[in-house]
Amino acid sequence: MVRVEMRTFTRVEGSGSADIIIENGKVKEVRVRFLEGPRFFELLTLGRNYYDVPDLEARICAICYLSHSIASTVAIERAFEVEVTEEIELLRELGLLGEMIESHSLHLYLLVSPDIFGQPDAINLAKKHWNLVKDGITIMNFGNYIRDLIGGREIHGINIKPGGFGRYPSEKELRFIEKNSAEYIKMSTKILELFVSQEPFGARSNAKIVTNNYLLGDKLMADDGALFDYHECIEEKSLPYSFAKQSRYKGKIFMVGALSRLLLKNKYLTPTAAEFFDRYKDLLLEGYASRNNLAQAIELIYALEKSGEIARKLLDKGVRANNVLVKPVEGEGIGYVEAPRGVLVHHYRIEEDGKIKYSNIITPTAMNHAFMELSLYEEARNNFGRMDDEKVTRKLEETIRALDPCISCSVHMIKM
């Protein structure tokens, strides 16, 4: 038996590695190890007042903090049976779109594009393809502007509150979003063409899970037609070699993220994004892990186009500070959000005095953990012994990067 170690993953968020177990010349097992220390966010919320919890959950991640804040807030509102206004829902959706713009452009332009051009990183890529890198940074900054506006600041914002917001955007700020979103759509189509010709690799997704609306939902939905709450069909287990739990859907490995969203919810796409989806539908339907890059490129166009639509709608309605009264009662609520990397779940039980007595969080990367192992297994099985070890390792790293893991999000409280 031989153990081949993939040292710390590069150009992904967080610290992780993998072991490839080879026995009698054949790949027997792959173990993806998330090495960030457990951060116990479920435990940290226990006994705290509900009002402080979304701000605390925003600390889980610097890249997708808004998704955590909104999922947490929605779960609390559902526990208290609070219904917010359409304006508040639109502003939350706008914030999630901004986060998607920032996250997808970071991934596509700075983390994955170097692989396409055979460069080790974005700095070396910029030496030969500066305009491409500049486009990525420009679009990232626009996404950060939206996230800063809705979340209160670019990182770990505190503007998302049960019942509404601490601050509402001005007409001038919304007009800025409306104008610039249209300008960046054409710019973003250039990156899409890079991933059309990318060869397929990784495993093929046999099961996919999404929320039942594009970015915010009250249930989860699977490609077998099931509509369910997460605890009804998703089983979590701890692993002896990783600080993240691993999930199964009815015992099956599944995938979440941009590819799953496009394949199951393409009816929600904006006109330009829908046009590109129809053009490259056959490639996406292949279901390979690598097609997640192409899916993100199409979804980036969707997020830019949709953010402009929402800004126009809010301008037509007129934006005003109008929070909904929130009164604590004993209750239980689940918040489902599509973070950039896929389905995010926040689940609370709250006491009558507003204190949290139960908390559970499942992140997209934890849900994709088993699919990452399966994808590495397929690539290792197909390539070990057929190309030199350095090339195999590069291919395995590209496979991990295609799934865009956010490892820091995935390591929470576990039972050993």
Would you list which residues are annotated within the binding site?
42, 61, 64, 361, 406, 409, 412
The Cβ of residue 100 has, within 10 Å, a number of other Cβ atoms equal to 30
Whether the Cβ atoms of residue 409 and residue 364 lie closer than 8 Å to each other: yes
Dist CA 145 CA 94 (whole Å)? 11
Residues 6+ apart with CB under 8 A from 239: 31, 245, 246
Name the 3-class secondary structure at 30.
strand
Nearest to 394 by CA among 183, 147, 112, 106: 112
Return binding residues for Fe cation. 64, 409
Residues 6+ apart with CB under 8 A from 18: 5, 6, 9, 30, 31, 32, 33, 373, 376, 396, 400
Dist CA 314 CA 158 (whole Å)? 22
Dist CA 355 CA 236 (whole Å)? 26
Residues facing residue 87 across a β-bridge: none
Helix (H) or strand (E) holding 132: helix 130-151
Which residue shows structure tokens 């499942």?
Answer: 362
Q: Report how far Cα 139 is from the mean position of its chain's Cα atoms.
A: 18
Return binding residues for Ni(2+). 61, 64, 406
Nearest to 324 by CA among 65, 55, 73, 52: 73
Dist CA 129 CA 136 (whole Å)? 11
Dist CA 232 CA 75 (whole Å)? 17
Helix (H) or strand (E) holding 298: helix 291-317
Return binding residues for Mg(2+). 42, 361, 412
Q: What is the DSSP string of 309-335?
A: HHHHHHHHH-----PPP----SEEEEE
